[in-house]
A and B are shown apart, each in its own frame.
Chain A
Amino acid sequence: MTDYTICIFTENTIGLLNRITIIFTRRRINIESLTVSETERKGVSRFTIVIKHESREEVEKLVRQIRKIVEVMAVFGYLNDEIVYNEIALFKVSTPLGSKPLDVETINKEHKAWVVYWGLDYVVIEKTGNDTEIVDFFTYINQYEILEFVRSGRVAVGKTEKGLVEYLPEAEWAYYL
C-alpha cells in the first residue's frame, strides 16, 4: 500500500464535499485524512485527501473521476516525496499534584512539541509533524496519562516553484488533455 495525497481545487459551494467523497465511497477507497480550507484565492477551496492504495493506475482513474465534477477546477495526485506535508496533533495530558513532572526540555528539544495551554491539573501539548513523528511523540508522552488526543488531517504543498493555485483558473492540465 502506498500513500497518495490528492489535492483538489474547487469552487466553494455547498454539498461539494459530499460529491467528492461519493467518488471514494463508490470505489470502496477509505479516506485516511481530509482537510479543507480556502486558498489564497478567494472562492477557491483546497481539499487535501490522503488515501492508501495498491495501484497507481487506479489512483489516476480516481483523480480523473474527481476532475469530472463540475465545480472541480483541478486535481493533483502526489506521492509523499513529491510534497511537503504536516499534520498537527494536540495532547491533553493529566498533571495532578504529586504526579511525575513533565520533562518539558525533552518535549521541546527532542520532539519539537510545545505546551500551548496550562490547565489546573492538565496541560495541552501541540505537536506538528508527519505521522511518524506524531506517533513517536505519542509513544513518548504515553508514560503520562493522556486524557485526550486529537490529530488533524494532512496539509500539503507540492515541491514546485509556484503554488499550484497560481495556475488557476487558466491552467491547461497536461495530464488530462
Chain B
Amino acid sequence: MEAIASITSDVIETTPSASPAAPTLINGSHALMKALVAEGVDTIFGYPGGAIMPVYDALYDYQEQLNHILVRHEQGAAHAAEGYARVTGRAGVCLVTSGPGATNLVTGIADALIDSTPMVCIVGQVAKKLLGTDAFQEADVMGVTMPITKWNYQITDADEVPEILSKAFYIAQSGRPGPVLIDITKSAQLELMTKPFVYERCRSMVSYRPRRIPKQEQVEAAARLINSAKRPYIFVGHGVQIAKAESELIAFAEKTGIPVATTLLGQSTISTDHPLYVGWLGMHGNYGSNVMTDNADVIIAIGMRFDDRVTGDASKYIKQAKVVHIEIDPSEIDKIIRADAPVVGDAKEALKALLPLVDPNDHTVWRNEFRKYDAIENEAITVPVLTSTEGKIRMGEVIDMLSKKTKGEAILVTDVGQHQMMSSRYYQFRKPNSLVTSGGMGTMGFALPAAFGAQVGAPDRQVVAIIGDGCFQMTLQELGTIVQNKQPVKAIILNNNFLGMVRQWQQLFHERRYSFVELQNPDFITIARGFGMSGQTCDERENLSDALDTMLNHDGPFLLEVIVEKEENVFPMVPAGASVSQIRLK
C-alpha cells in the first residue's frame, strides 16, 4: 500500500528559536502530535485518562490539525478506527489511557489483525520508574497485545517518539496491513526531547521488507498454469481491495473469461451484476460458487487465505485443482492449501504483471455451469424469501429493499451473525469498498462504531449499518458518539429477539435445545431518542418501504428497528467441518 501522500515534505523539523544556539525542545507529547501531523493523520478516535493526560493536553493545541473524536468506550474507538481504515486504506488511529483503556482496545486490535486492517493504537503507560510495580492502572499491555499486533513497542524516552511513530505507520500500512500498538510512558510524554524534533518518514527496515513486486518467474509459472486451464476459477479476497486492484482484477478476468467468486471480505470488489461474477464462497455463500470449486481444474486465489469458513474440511478441499496463489504475505502460501504456483507480491502488481502473459479466452460453457446452480438456489431460497407474504418480515427482504433503494451504492457495515450473512446474500454491491464487516474474528458489537468510523472516513458516501439485536447491545453506547459528531449514519436493527446464528446452530445441530439465546430486549428507539437520535420501529411488511425511505431521507443519523421472523435460518450452509460440496439448501 502506498504511504499517505497528504504532507508536502518527508522531513519536518521544529521551528528554530531566535537563537540558533538554543533550539526549541519539545516534550514527548508534542512530539507525538507533530509525528501524527507529519503522517497525515486527520482523525483520532480516543478516550482520555490519567496516563495519557499529557498527550491530551498537547492535543488541545492541535485541534485544528487533528480531529479527535471522543468515543464512549475504547472498544468503540478500535472499531471506529477499523471502519475508518477499511474505507480510506489509511491507518485508523486510537488514543487511549493505560490499564483498562488499553485492554478495552484488545478486541478491536485482534479484529484488525485477522482482517488485515491498518491501525495505530497509542496507549498511555505509567511513568518509567513505576513500570512493573503494579501501579495504578498499570497493565502489561505489551505482553497482552504481542500476539494480536503486527508490531508493538514501548516508548520510555521522548527522543524515541519520531522514529517509533514513523516505523509504526510504515509497518501498519505496508505489506499485509495490520494493527500496531505504541505504549508510551507518562514520563516520556512529559519529558523534553534532548534534540530538536526531526521527522523522517520510514520507507524501509532492515528486518521488514514486504515484497510488492512479484518475481517474474513466479508470474510466468502462474500464467502458464492459467493458460493451460480448461475450467479456471478466480477467488478474490480482501487483499484485492487493500491493494486497490479492482480494475486490474476486472481486466484480468475479462481478458481470460474466468468466473470470479469472492470471499466474505472480498465482496464488492467486483459488481454483483458483472457477467463474470458467480457469487461468494464459504459457509453461507452461494450454492454454485461453492459447489463448482470441486469442478475447477485451476484456482487462482488472489489476496485470500483459505479461511476455514471458506474451505470447510480443508483435507477434502479442491483436491482436483492446481492452485495459483497470489498473496503479499508469504506465510499464507501453503499454510492451508498447497500452491502449485505461488506468486508473492501485491495483488495490483501481480495482476499487472500477469495480464500481458495470459491468453484471451472465453470459458462460456464452463461459466454457464454456475448459472444452473444459481437457478436452483433462487428457486429454493431467494425467491421464497423475497416474495414472502406470510409471517413476519424476513431479513432478506429488508436487505433486498435497501439494496434497491440505495442502488447498491451504500457502504454496508455489518455486525456478526445471521444479519451479516443475509446482508452479504441480498445486497447487490455495485461499487468497490462497500462492505465493512468483521470477518475473521467475528466480533459482535463491531458494526455501530465501525459504521461511524466509515462515515468519518467516507463523508460523501451513504453508510448503513446492519445490526442484530444481540450485537447492538454490545456497543450501543456509541450512539452518543454518532450524535455528538453529527454523522449521518443509518443503522438498521434486524430484531428477532434471539442470538440468531447461535439459535440456528442449536436448531440444526443441537436438537433445538435453545440454550441461552433468547433476549429480553429494551425499547431500542427510546434508547436512541435518549441519545438524541431519531428512529422508528417497523413491524409490518407493508410499512417496510416507507420506513426505509424515512431512514434514508432523514437528515442526520437514524435508527430503524425492523421486527423480523424469529426463527429464520440462513441458507445455503456448509455445516462446520463438512466439505463444501455438502452445502445444504435447507
A interface residues, Cβ below 8 angstroms from B: 10-11, 14-15, 18-19, 22, 26, 57, 60-61, 64-65, 67-68, 70-73, 169, 176-177
Contacts and interface: CB of A to CB of B under 8 A. Distances in A.
**Chain A CB within 10 A, most for which of B207, B208, B333:** B207
B313 to A, nearest CB: 18
A61 B337 CA distance: 12
Contact of A60 (B206, B334, B344): B334
Contact of B331 (A22, A65, A70): A65
B146 A61 contact: no
Q: Chain B interface: which size bin?
A: 20 to 34
Contacts of B330: 64, 67, 176-177
Given A176-B344, A177-B215, A73 B207 contact: yes
Nearest to B176: A68
B154 A68 contact: no
B344 A72 contact: no
A18 B146 contact: yes
A66 to B, nearest CB: 9
A78 to B, nearest CB: 19
B528 to A, nearest CB: 41
A14 B143 CA distance: 11
Contacts of B215: 177
Given A65-B331, A176-B330, A15 B206 contact: no
A64 B154 CA distance: 26
7 contacts: A11-B207, A19-B146, A72-B207, A73-B206, A176-B344, A177-B211, A177-B330
Query: A-B pairs with the 4 shortest C-beta distances?
Result: A64-B331, A70-B151, A73-B207, A169-B206
Contact of A15 (B142, B171, B329): B142
A19 B181 CA distance: 14
B11 to A, nearest CB: 23
B143 to A, nearest CB: 7
A19 B143 CA distance: 9
Contact of A68 (B211, B329, B334): B329
B150 interface: yes
Contacts of A60: 334
A26 B113 CA distance: 16
B350 to A, nearest CB: 13
B171 A70 contact: yes
B205 interface: yes
Contacts of B334: 57, 60-61
A70 B206 contact: no
